[in-house]
Structure 1
Amino acid sequence: MIMLELALGQHPFAGLSEAVILHHLTTRELELNTLTDAYLRKLLRGLLLRDPKKRWGDEQIMRWLARDTSLPDAVETTAMGGFREPYHIGYDLCHTREQLAVALARNWDDGVRDISNAQLLAWFRDVQKDQNAVRVLLDMRHDKKLSVDVQLLRLILYLAPGIPPVWRGETIELPAILSYANRSLKGDELASSWLNQLYNYGVLEAYADAGNKEIANIVQKWQHCCKQIQQAWQEAFGLVKDYASKHLPGEYANIDKLVYGIEADDRAPLHKLHARVLALVYDERWPERLRKRLVIAYAGLKAYCPWLSALGEIEQMPVASLL
């Protein structure tokens, strides 16, 4: 692996998580086609065979150094369940379902194009004769609610249910999710949008349904907290409305209905809150820091917004009500 890194000028798995690297190494051979030196490529193929019994040793290396032309090329033979013909995407030549899943996850934009233009559909139908895969692709294609990104995700999980979690080419293991949440809390709108996609598109649920227990745990905690916040939001909405009807002169006015002709929405704006939800769930100190900030803000608003008293004292509020 060190020789490959020297030849490439960078680590072959730079930027990938340990889980993705492990899955890559156990399901496919390393991609060496980017190396222009064919003789060096021959050596590396021999040194990087997954089967230790067939991996090159001292004898083959000495023959390679002596430029022995009779030395046969090393051939990776551990792949199972191979395709009739390999699928080429990016620099990846895929011989198995697992290899194709990894390649699609790594070459996400190319995969989206290949689904959009029906190239993958045609390949599974005409080359592989895989009617089950064709049905999966057709069903998704006819579902107008599914974005192409979600279609690609479902295809990847159909091909390799155990693949490490990835969304649009990026890992979605817990550290990455919390990193995006931290960026969102600092005002990064792209990070906020990314979190919304994970939640609204059911990305994590797809991996949980495929058997990923760690992701299933994240889903359970995230959704549970969202439900608590939704309930707290609706209760607060009702309390404020009740306060207005009792303490403010005249009939309670629904501004949204008067101005826009729509009923006021008592649902929490979760699309703005996902980073805070994750902070509540995974940072034990964050709720109390938030509570202290709210106490200060609350003191200054009381004189102008007397209806805030209907919500109760900040110090006594449940954590979910702080948002």
Structure 2
Amino acid sequence: MTTVPPTEWDDHGFGADSHRGPEETRPRLDRVPATLDGRLDLTELLRRGVAPTQAVVLRVKDREARHRDADVPLVLKTYHRAYAPDPGVRRALGEDLGAHVARVLEHGTADGHPYELLPSYGETTLADYHARHPGPLPAPLLHGVITQLYEALSAVHDEDVVHGDVTPDNLVVRAQREDRLDLVLVDFGAAVHTGGDEDVPRRRAWKGKPLYLAPEASTHRQSVTPAADWWSAGMVVAELAGGRHPIDFRGDEEVLAEIATHDPELPLVTDPRVRALCHGLLTRAPEHRWGAEQVGRWLTGEDPPVAPRTVGAAPEDLPPRPTVEPFPFLGRAVVSTEELAHQFDHYRRAADDLLARRRGRERLREWLGQFTEAPGGSPDDAEVLDRLLERAPSPPDMLRLLNWMGPRLPASWHGLPLDALGLADLETAAVRGDDRARALVAALARHPELLPLLSTRPEGEGLDEVQQRWQDHRDNWRAATRDLLADGGPADRRAAARLLRRTGDLDARLLGLAHRPERTVEWLLRRTAWDRGLGEAPHWYRDLRADPDHPLRLLAAFLLGGLARQEAEERQDALRVAAVERLFARETDARYAVLRRLDRPPTLGWALLGATLATAPWTFVIGLADLFNHANQAEIVVAWMLALPAAAIVFALELWIALYIGPPVYHPTRSLAGLVIRTGERPARATRSRGRLGNAIGAAVLVGLGVLGLWAVVWAPWAWPCATVVALTGWTVQRWWAWRRTARDARLARAAHRAAPTAPTLRPAAPVRPGGPHRTAGPARTAAPTGRNQ
């Protein structure tokens, strides 16, 4: 676009045929003029004038230190004599107009051309700062900018000076703080000193940048009033508050026509008070536009009234424009290719419907022929247009057509800006689930030609490199995350595979990584930082974050952060459960030891009872045999000789096994008394439950016992104690061996359970969202063997 850079302007009315301007007569365009060379030392060439309309800007040091110390840099600007600054402006700027207005330290003529010597306020402009920090300016910074603009414009207007070129390029950032930018309004090359005349000054020389010009300042004969500066200030504020300029067009004709016929729309300005300020400053009628009084009241918290929004031609005469047959589209008569490209981009469905029909393509081809056949048109343009409209264009061909019609339009697709801020917004919206953003990301993924084609448009620089990095990330994603699903990866591999699957969300995140690699890596490192409160991170998660030079693995760590936290929480739960169980086991052991000591006398009593029940029958049997003298006397003597040691053995064995096993396990399952009780219960239970059959069985058992007792009394009274000792010895050995094995297993299980687990078995993770924490219940407690040994 033909935007005028700082201290440069056209010397003809807009739209008029260009005529030859004055020739360049400044002899030294990259050095200090000869008249000043003996005093000023050149330190840096800031801008070489390539045309008479441009000032030469040098950074110098004054050896004579007339205005500053000799080591303090100054700025020297030399102008062509035909484009000398307004003398009244020079005189006004020679005074101190405040901290936010550039001051002219010295002015004069050098080598026949005017020059100015000014302080060096810095190299960063507000436009540079905003480019490095895309997006809406934070509220504290924005309020500071508004305040300083108000102070600067109020100061120059009080001196009857109209700047005429208030843009972010002409606001130098002298100092930066977190909550404030220290600004200075510079470059008064296009400024006018009105002299306080009541009549509105007019000039035929068209000066300024169309994107910031007021409607009355963009006409064939410009009106130069303070109201024009306040309009420009409103455009600056709207751009900073919304993150991008409120006008989509970039061609001079389209921009000037837009501001002359429509109030700027401000959908990106979300703060109601800031939007009211912008509406007040961007009122197209100068007499209703806010000025210093209203802005001052706004800064104090008041809400001055705002004129109603209007649509239609501005009250001033518009610049002459070529006569073009309008093209009807959605009820609008379009007269420029850039405007039609803008409409096609924002209303893609209607554009696709139009171009899907052969008749529609022929109408468009016929209309665009006006521009290919106009002076300056090229036969190659007609050939390109014929090729693009030969059939219904594909998305890449549609973009080529839009590039042909509006090469100066900002980079956008489907009406969504794709500049630095737009790509970031696109990624955020796609990840949040916005259908329009997801469809756009899918279209960009399906057609890799789109971003390189957009890189040729304003604000699309570097999109071709973004596309290449994005494609590399998409191609390498599977290889970068393949090892995660092997052994040693996340416990729930199915959930991990689902989170790592190539989807529209992942493509959007990869696009953000390709767009802003350094910033995205820093963001990923912050978001994947491990919370020490969760204990140690899973080893696979630590491996993902181990190398910041592999951003794809960092992104995988972010996507699997929920699984990692879930595993860590389950591990923490398992450790807590194990710790509780260890404490419980220790307490149980202590209580168990106390109970064993307290239960030992009853346990020994049961042992004595069992031994007594085992020895009493044979004493009775031997006594009967001796009383009735049915057995051999020698047999009876042997029986009495065996009875005493047998009884001692029985008592010794039962007391020993009772002490070895101990309470509460010994009785009743492993005691002799319990065996006798169970033996007596079973026949009685069988007799009661089976009626006559039970009685018959009981009688048979009694008869058998009687026969056995008779045999022992008559023939072998010594057999009963011997049999009792042998049977009890065998059962005691069996009880000892079984209890020893049980106690050993219990000790091993108890020792393993009490040891701190290093890697508890975790359940498969439940489905989780990327990066989100999810708590689950800990693993179920398992009962450990309760047997104890003394």
Common topology (TM > 0.5): yes
SS in 1 for 2:528: helix
Q: Distance in 1 between matches of 2:533 and 2:389?
A: 55
Does structure 1 residue 92 correspond to structure 2 residue 339?
Answer: no
> Match of 1:121?
361
Q: Report matched runs for 1:260-275 at 5 Å.
A: 269=502, 271-275=504-508
Change beyond 3 A, Cα 1:164–1:296? farther
Listed one character per residue, the Cα deviations across residues 134-155 of structure 1 (whole Å, up to 9, x for unaligned) are: 33211x53x7xx24xx443321
**Which residue of 378, 388, 413 corresponds with 1:136?**
388
Partner SS state of residue 403, structure 2:
helix
Q: For residue 522 of structure 2, what is the amino acid of its counterpart?
A: R
1:261 is aligned to none
Residue 224 (structure 1) aligned with residue 482 (structure 2): no
Matches within 5 A, 1:1-323: 17-18=244-245, 20-23=247-250, 26-27=253-254, 29-30=257-258, 44-47=313-316, 49=318, 51=319, 77-79=320-322, 83=324, 85-125=325-365, 132=383, 133-138=385-390, 141=392, 146-147=394-395, 150-188=396-434, 190-201=436-447, 202-208=449-455, 211-212=456-457, 214-221=459-466, 223-224=468-469, 226-228=471-473, 230-231=475-476, 233-237=478-482, 239=483, 269=502, 271-277=504-510, 278=512, 281=517, 282-283=519-520, 285-292=522-529, 308=540, 312=543, 314-316=545-547, 318-322=550-554, 323=556
CA distances 1:208-252 after superposition (whole Å, capped 9, x unpaired): 2xx237424244145325514633531542x468x66xx9xxxxx
The Cα of 1:125 is off from its aligned counterpart by 4.7
Contact 2:474 2:507 in 1 (8 A): no
Give me the whole-angstrom Cα distance separating, in 1, the residues matched to 2:533 and 2:544. 12
SS in 1 for 2:460: helix
Following superposition, the deviation at residue 105 of structure 1 comes to 2.8
Secondary structure of the corresponding residue to residue 157 of structure 1: helix
Is contact 1:166-1:172 (8 Å) kept? yes
The AA in structure 2 aligned to 1:287 is: L
* Structure 1 residue 284, shift from structure 2 partner: 5.2
Unaligned runs of 5+ in 2: 1-213, 217-237, 263-309, 373-381, 489-493, 557-790
The 3-state SS of whatever aligns with 2:335 is strand
CA distance in 1 between counterparts of 2:404 and 2:386 reads 12
Give structure 1 stretches of 5+ with no counterpart.
4-12, 34-40, 52-76, 248-254, 256-263, 303-307
Q: 1:213 to 1:219 in 2, by over 3 A?
A: farther
> Conserved in 1, the CA contact under 8 Å of 2:338 and 2:405?
yes
Provide the aligned length of Structure 1 versus Structure 2: 245
State the Cα deviation string for residues 192-212 of structure 1 (Å, max 9, x = none): 33323234334322112xx23
Structure 1 counterpart of 2:529, one-letter code: K
Distance 2:349 2:362 in 1: 18
Q: 1:213 to 1:168 in 2, by over 3 A?
A: closer
Tell whether the 8 Å contact from 2:452 to 2:464 is kept in structure 1 after alignment.
yes
Rounded to whole Å, the distance in 1 between the matches of 2:432 and 2:453 is 28
Q: Does the C-alpha gap of structure 1 residues 275 and 154 become closer, same or farther in structure 2, counting only changes over 3 Å? A: same
Percent of paired sites with the same residue:
13
Asked if 2 retains the 8 angstrom alpha-carbon contact of 1:24 and 1:102, the reply is no
Kindly tell me: are residues 270 and 187 of structure 1, through their superposed partners in 2, closer, same or farther at Cα, counting changes over 3 Å? Answer: closer
CA gap of 1:216–1:78, structure 2 versus 1, over 3 A, is same
| Aligned residues of 2:477 and 2:552 also touching (Cα < 8 A) | yes
Contact 1:295 1:315 in 2 (8 A): no
Residues 121, 134 of structure 1: 8 Å contact kept = no
Secondary structure in 2 aligned to 1:220?
Answer: helix
C-alpha distance in 2 between matches for 1:24 and 1:225: 31
Instruction: Assess if the C-alpha contact under 8 Å between 2:452 and 2:463 holds in 1.
Output: no
Q: Distance in 1 between matches of 2:414 and 2:528?
A: 35
On the 8 A contact 1:111/1:152 being kept in 2, the answer is no
* Counterpart secondary structure, 1:183: helix
Q: In 2, distance between residues paired with 1:86 and 1:219?
A: 35
Please say which structure displays the higher CA radius of gyration: 2
| CA positional deviation for 1:47 | 2.0
Once the two structures are TM-superposed, the CA of residue 178 in structure 1 deviates from its matched residue by: 0.9
Spell out, residue by residue over 1:165-212, the C-alpha distance to the aligned partner (whole angstroms, 9 max, x if none): 22112322221221221233334454333323234334322112xx23
RMSD: 4.6
Q: Name the SS for the 1:23 alignment partner.
A: coil
Give the TM-score normalised by structure 2: 0.26
